[in-house]
Amino acid sequence: MKRILHILSLLLVCASSFGQSTRDLSLQLNKYGQTLYYIRNFYLDTVNVPKMVDAAIVETLKQLDPHSSYISKEDVEAMNEPLEAEFEGIGVEFAIINDTLTVQATVAGGPSEKVGIRAGDKIVTVDGENIAGVKITNDKVYKYLRGKKGTKVLLEVVRRGVSEKLAFTVVRDKIPLHSLDAAYEPVKGCLYLKLSRFAATSYDEIMTAFEQHAGINSVILDLRSNSGGYLHTAIAIANEFLERDQLIVYTEGRTVRGAKEFADGEGIFQKGPLVVLVDENSASASEIVSGAIQDQDRGVIIGRRTFGKGLVQQMLPLNDGAQLRLTVARYHTPSGRVIQAPYQEGEREKYYEQFNRRFTHGESFSKDSIQMPDSLKYETLISKRVVYGGGGIMPDIFIPQDTSFYTPYYGLLLRNGLVQEYANKVTDANREKWTGKYRSSDHFIRSFKVDDDLFNGLVQMAKDSGIEPVEEQIKISRETLDNYIKALIASALYDRTDFYRVLHSGGDPELEKALEVIKNWDKYLEELDIYEKNN
């Protein structure tokens, strides 16, 4: 009860400090406090009042916009971790193979690498407790291996070719989290950057990629399936591509002061061909960057209409460690566009239904299926080209979604995680053989083939799991599955970048179009009626 009264008193203080409708708000808070008091003291049975408060907060936030939410104390850390720079643990990438924790890779310079743990090792005990063959889960692995920096954990490892178990004492440390999944040159001089989220370290990761690739004359920034992240990170990354005093984004709110963000002129790639790849899962910070590039006529946006999240959330702490993720402002692209898709307060289900309708109405397959009203027309700042607000970023070049390879059989394999599981299994069994045969990732990508024997192993695993083979469907999906298996093996043997290198070698319409546009840059600028500043 003390917790509840403390929350109410804090809210009353906040209401007084803002000085807006203080009396009305105080009456409502007192009313709710009285209700809880009566329940706590007079209700027939014992009740969990904190649980009731949490439920009330959740229901209250449902009456607002679709992106405001309540995060419990238990969920705060898990929610923030992907965007933070690091976590604390032993520094391994792992897979659970045959109910055994298997090291897929060690973090370079991390605690496990320092003591000699290596890819292919099977961790069978943690501090004397057996964890092999006991239905271990990913959550349990995190519980066993993560911990405060400086704490020790004793691991027993089974290593192929070694008869006895090996014991390692690992001192946990800070482990970096990376958001740049791939950085390589698909053609000489063109830097491809695959950014999975806008995290605390994203800007530094991109700058490091530029440092490692000298002589870059064009850039492809892949924001497909990037759902966003930190606003300041998006601004910092957009800044690297824009000229001094070019507007990146501006925000406005009811009580939060609006802000305008301009490029500082110190960007590393202000000139030269720039392509941004987006799709229906690109949202928030991804739309800030692509919107700024488009509105300033700096580059070409390729792909499909983005999600349409143009609201800014602020994390507000509650007294028990929980947080409110509360919408406090909306952002505008440089031309003034609001990217947020339409919504009615309190109608979250209807809001998310509209994204399903986009797919069912054919928007993913035909640009002509997308209806944008004239009331949402805006102009880019240099070329004065027409662009639209009110529901995501419309690409300059539309690429329909490729589903030609998709079959029900393919879907079942992916949804059950069988391709990943099979790739982990065969990599574990053949690691020494393959790394000995293929001297580098380049050699592997050029020469490795998923033959019938290897593929049939996947079919058999699926059959053992209750998924019967359908030959006609396998024929349709075989090439894509072969490439996916190869990509997963490449990632496990070499590097995450090699996963994307293999995937792209199997065909990627958006990337292929990006390379074509870069090769014929002036031609495409003319066709798209884009005039670059100071061109």
- Active-site amino acid positions: 284, 295, 309
Tell the burial category of 310 from Cβ atoms under 10 Å away from its Cβ (0-12, 13-18, 19+).
buried
| DSSP percent split of the chain into helix, strand, coil, nearest 5 | 40, 20, 40
CA torsion sign, 86 to 87 to 91 to 92? Answer: negative
Q: How far apart are CA 229 and CA 202, in angstroms?
A: 10
Helix (H) or strand (E) run with residue 369 in it: none
Give the C-alpha separation, 432 to 342, whole Å.
54
Q: Which two tokens stand for residue 307?
A: 């999600």
Whole-number Å distance between alpha carbons of 510 and 275? 10
Q: List, in sequence order, the alpha helices (H) in 309-382.
A: 348-360
Distance CA 149, CA 512 (A): 44
Strand 173-176 versus strand 247-252 pairing type = unpaired
Q: Which residues contact 156 (CB under 8 A, 6 or more apart)?
A: 123, 124, 125, 165, 166, 167, 168
Question: Any idea what DSSP says for residue 322?
Answer: -
Cα separation, 200 vs 202, whole angstroms? 6
- 49 burial (CB, 10 Å; 0-12 / 13-18 / 19+) is middle
Q: Give dist(CA 346, CA 351) in Å, integer.
A: 9
